[in-house]
Amino acid sequence: MAGQPFIYNGQGFSLLRDKNRFVLPNAFRGTVRESSGKDLLCLTTHDRWPCLVGFGLSRIQDFEQEIREQQELAVRAGKDFDAEKRAADIYASYEVPFDGSGRFVLPEDLAALANVSDQLYFRGNGRFFTVWSPENLNEMDDGWKAAQTACRSLAAKELQKASKK
């Protein structure tokens, strides 16, 4: 696991299913499993966007370097940066188990913070992936048009499949 970059690429969508579970898309499931060494997903809130961030356990070893880099960028830009607050935020990620089919229960407080009801849109972002409620994503500006369009398309497909059951 050490030193190997784990990259999250692609997108997916999940409707809330039985037993209050969502499904981690195939596009991310194998990478999370490999990064964590088991079926364990780490989730936390994003520091600037109204969404969640997902990743595997191996990313935690990079947090100190990321905090240093963020602090250096802030100093160069003449901005304030609270390294302790940032550390408190990223080290407070939830470790959420998922089963072989990718089913997991989203912790209630994370769902509340990200405005999640019964739908999740997943989008690859390199070292992590974002997890959005469609409502929050649709409130983003035009720079998010591709993600918004993909989310609507994937939602329509999932809703159509669900209506046939």
The full length of the chain comes to: 165
pLDDT band at 38 (very low <50, low <70, confident <90, very high): very high
Q: How far apart are CA 76 and CA 11, in angstroms?
A: 34
pLDDT of residue 18: 92
Sign of CA dihedral 27, 15, 36, 111: positive
Structural domain boundaries in the chain: 11-163
Q: Is the pLDDT assigned to residue 1 strictly greater than 50? A: no
Q: Is the pLDDT assigned to residue 124 strictly greater than 50? A: yes
Q: Is the pLDDT assigned to residue 4 strictly greater than 90? A: no
The owner of tokens 């830009």 is 77
The pTM score is 0.90
Mean pLDDT score, 92-113? 96
CATH architecture, range 11-163 = 3-Layer(aba) Sandwich (3.40)
